[in-house]
Amino acid sequence: MRTLLLLSFLLFFAFNCNGVEVYVHMMPWFETKETNNGTWGIHWTMDNEDPDVVINGKQDLASFYHPQIGPYASGDPDVVDWQLGVMKAAGISGVFIDWPGTVDFADYRKNKQNAEAIIDGTQRTGLKFAVVYEDHNLNLAFVPDQIGQATEDMAYLQENYFVKDNYLHVDEKPLLMDFGPQVLYEKMWDQIFTPIEPKPAFLTLWNQHLQGGSYCEGEYAWVWLDFLDGLTTWYDQVDVPIKIGTAYPGFQPFYQMGGWGGPTWTIDYGEDTFRQSFELALQNTEMIQICTWNDYGEGTIIEPTDEFGTTFVDIIQQATGSKYTHEDFEELTNIYFMRRKHADNATKLEELRNQYHELMHKFD
């Protein structure tokens, strides 16, 4: 009898993320006309789409999906509250922010400002955060001294982000991921980390840890065309101290249609893909990075959209055993639209700020 009870207990928890921490990878790169000098940001338009045009009742975005709150600016605190609020209500522990570095090129400076608006939001909402560094930008921005620039970027992270209370630490070291490497390899990283104390717990993309230098402690998985086969092989075979698994709803890139060029392979988008990759990750790792929260161009979004509503955050909310309910997602969306509607009424805005704060901290 006791064995039977124990067995059902174990079976029950096998399908819950008991003890597993769920994070989401977040893009800080969306702009509206209001925040971008009168033109929609390139991540809503790519080369040829125009959100001011409505086709079959939907705004023309460089994506197959449409945000439930409409195309937004990543640095808008009301948008950030909605996004991070939905995450918290889903039982997600925090955000891994795609971070452009400190170089001033293309839209990188705005992306960094937006990243910092998101970081402010994590403090209001009570979430953790960490950075995914884009070393590829050193090439894209034609940086002449790549090691010098990367060293400056790390100093900036240490002084401004790693010191924050809610920066995610692993074994007392700030967790730092690189989206690659794609430009800097092996001993270059040792040189770049020389001035940094404590050294970060540094992670590369999957199957690349040997390129991450001597401080590299592990890898994180990502979406790829071999779907569960590639993930299963990685979970089974890669032996590094820190492994962050992944889950995603699909891969439906808009690059070709948007005139940008890029991958053309796809993975079916929807609940099945998400459940399969999420369950595999829950069985194999203690930390999961969902890819992604909002990469509309690549079609990997779990944030609520017109097409899929709260499908993905509902699944996460059930798996994490969050005390919040589906109705809390609706309240957050309502708060967002009320803030828009009453933008000129300071009294009302103060009430809405309090409503958000209470909702976000009622189970703390």
Ligand X SMILES: *[C@@H]1O[C@H](CO)[C@@H](O)[C@H](O)[C@H]1NC(C)=O
Q: Is 266 in the site for ligand X (CB under 6 A)?
A: no
Among the residue ranges 120-128, 164-172, 312-320, 343-351, the one whose residues contact ligand X (CB under 6 A):
343-351
One residue of 109, 124, 348, 357 binding ligand X per CB under 6 A: 348
Binding characters for ligand X, 286-315, by CB under 6 A (x = yes)? ------------------------------
Q: Is 3 in the site for ligand X (CB under 6 A)?
A: no
One residue of 3, 56, 264, 347 binding ligand X per CB under 6 A: 347
107 vs 190 by CB, closer to ligand X:
107
226 vs 350 by CB, closer to ligand X:
350
Within 6-45, which residues bind ligand X (CB under 6 A)? 37
Q: How far is the CB of 348 from ligand X (least distance, A)?
A: 4
Among the residue ranges 62-70, 177-185, 306-314, 340-348, the one whose residues contact ligand X (CB under 6 A):
340-348
User: Distance between alpha carbon 289 and the CA centroid of its chain, in Å?
Assistant: 8
Scanning the structure block, which residue is given the tokens 């945000």?
A: 67
Residues 42 and 295: beta-carbon distance below 8 Å = no
Binding characters for ligand X, 155-194, by CB under 6 A (x = yes)? ----------------------------------------
70's tokens: 């409409």
88 vs 110 by CB, closer to ligand X:
110
One residue of 256, 345, 354, 363 binding ligand X per CB under 6 A: 345
Q: How far is the CB of 342 from ligand X (least distance, A)?
A: 7
d(CA 257, CA 267): 17
229 vs 350 by CB, closer to ligand X:
350
Number of residues forming the site for ligand X (CB under 6 A): 5
d(CA 248, CA 242): 20
Q: How far is the CB of 350 from ligand X (least distance, A)?
A: 8
41 vs 218 by CB, closer to ligand X:
41
129's tokens: 């955060």
Q: Is 354 in the site for ligand X (CB under 6 A)?
A: no
Q: How far is the CB of 335 from ligand X (least distance, A)?
A: 13
Residues 35 and 76: beta-carbon distance below 8 Å = yes
Of the candidates 278, 216, 222, the residue with the CA atom closest to the CA atom of residue 241: 216
Q: How far is the CB of 332 from ligand X (least distance, A)?
A: 19
Among the residue ranges 141-149, 270-278, 316-324, 344-352, the one whose residues contact ligand X (CB under 6 A):
344-352
One residue of 171, 225, 351, 363 binding ligand X per CB under 6 A: 351
Among the residue ranges 170-178, 295-303, 322-330, 342-350, the one whose residues contact ligand X (CB under 6 A):
342-350
d(CA 99, CA 116): 10
Q: Is 264 in the site for ligand X (CB under 6 A)?
A: no
Q: How far is the CB of 88 from ligand X (least distance, A)?
A: 25
Which residues in this chain contact ligand X in the complex, by CB under 6 A?
A: 37, 345, 347-348, 351
